[in-house]
Amino acid sequence: MKNLIKRFLALALVACTCVALSSCAFLDGLLNPPNDDDGYSRPSSEIAFEVRNENVPVFSQEELTAEPYEYYSDLDSLGRCGVVKGTLGVETMPALDEKRGSISSVKPSGWVQAKYDTSIVQGGYLWNRSHLIGWQLSAENANKRNLITGTRYFNVEGMLPFENMVADHIREKGCHVAYKVTPDFKGENLVCHGVTMEAYCIECQGNLQFNVYCFNIQPGIEINYATGESRLAS
Ligand SMILES: [Zn+2]
């Protein structure tokens, strides 16, 4: 019972934070519209994610299956990833003692690596090969249909907390979670502006669900989403 209450409070906290953050993002967007004149966008906000559709994910009846599966779109003509989805469970996750494989052979679209001072980018390198469905959920290593060019901030502050939430839930309860990640490539840009992450637990129904948009930004850095080039914000 105590655990249930703790979980509820944790989720309520996430929901409240989400609402608070999304209104900040809205204000920030008004005050600091992206500057696209020379192809570069300065971060329109410094928030990692915002809630979409009142946090309610959108899945078809077909996608709400308890039968584990994974689907990865083929790359498009520009070499970009598309929607990836699945029903995740212990069946799709790595064993607890399984080691992550190398993914450095994959060059996602827009991969123009850049190094900055570690006071600006944790670890120094701007770009991470970002899993659309995280390794801890899919055990997918060098799958080029599952890796995009994403900032360190996007990877760690945007996507990871939601991946952890789903992984913890599955490990604790043995549930199956419908899951979908949709990268948001504008026009012919090689780097996406963000991804939409949606999840819905089949067994618990609404007790674990979210619909969030994680921004592919790095505070202090301007990004050219067409090419993947970057520079210090002026
Ligand atoms: Zn569940």
- Closest Cα to residue 82, out of 192, 157, 162? 192
Q: What is the pTM of this model?
A: 0.84
* Cα Rg, the chain, nearest whole Å: 18
State the distance from the centre of ligand 1 to the C-alpha of 81, rounded, in angstroms: 28
Q: What does the pLDDT read at residue 37? A: 65
State the distance from the centre of ligand 1 to the C-alpha of 170, rounded, in angstroms: 7
State the distance from the centre of ligand 1 to the C-alpha of 143, rounded, in angstroms: 27
Strand 49-51 versus strand 205-215 pairing type: antiparallel
Residue 195 pairs in a beta bridge with 183, 214
Q: Hunting for tokens 């249930």 — which residue is that?
A: 4
State the distance from the centre of ligand 1 to the C-alpha of 164, rounded, in angstroms: 14
Q: What does the pLDDT read at residue 44? A: 61
Distance between CA 208 and CA 162 in Å, rounded? 11
Cβ-based neighbour number of residue 151 at 10 Å? 25
Distances in whole angstroms, Cα of residue 63 to Cα of each of 37, 52, 84, 201: 41, 19, 12, 11
State the distance from the centre of ligand 1 to the C-alpha of 90, rounded, in angstroms: 12
CB-based contacts of 150, cutoff 8 Å, min separation 6: 127, 128, 129, 130, 159, 192, 216
Give the DSSP H/E element, type plus range, for residue 217: none
**Predicted confidence pLDDT, tens digits, the chain (234 residues):** 455 555 544 445 444 444 444 444 444 444 444 555 678 987 666 899 999 999 999 999 999 999 999 999 999 999 999 999 999 999 999 998 999 999 999 999 999 999 999 999 999 999 999 999 999 999 999 999 999 999 999 999 999 999 999 999 999 999 999 999 999 999 999 999 999 999 999 999 879 999 999 999 999 999 999 999 999 998
Cβ-based neighbour number of residue 117 at 10 Å? 9
State the distance from the centre of ligand 1 to the C-alpha of 209, rounded, in angstroms: 9
* Longest CA pairwise span in the chain (Å): 56
Q: What does the pLDDT read at residue 39? A: 86
Q: Are 217 and 223 in contact (CB under 8 A)?
A: yes
Measure the CA angle with vertex 54, ends 207 and 3; round to 5°. 25
- Closest Cα to residue 173, out of 86, 66, 69? 66
Distance between CA 24 and CA 28 in Å, rounded? 6
* CA 212 remoteness from chain centre: 9
Q: What does the pLDDT read at residue 43? A: 63
Domains assigned to the chain: 2-232 (3.40.570.10)
Q: What does the pLDDT read at residue 22? A: 44
State the distance from the centre of ligand 1 to the C-alpha of 171, rounded, in angstroms: 10
Q: What does the pLDDT read at residue 30? A: 43
Q: What does the pLDDT read at residue 137? A: 97
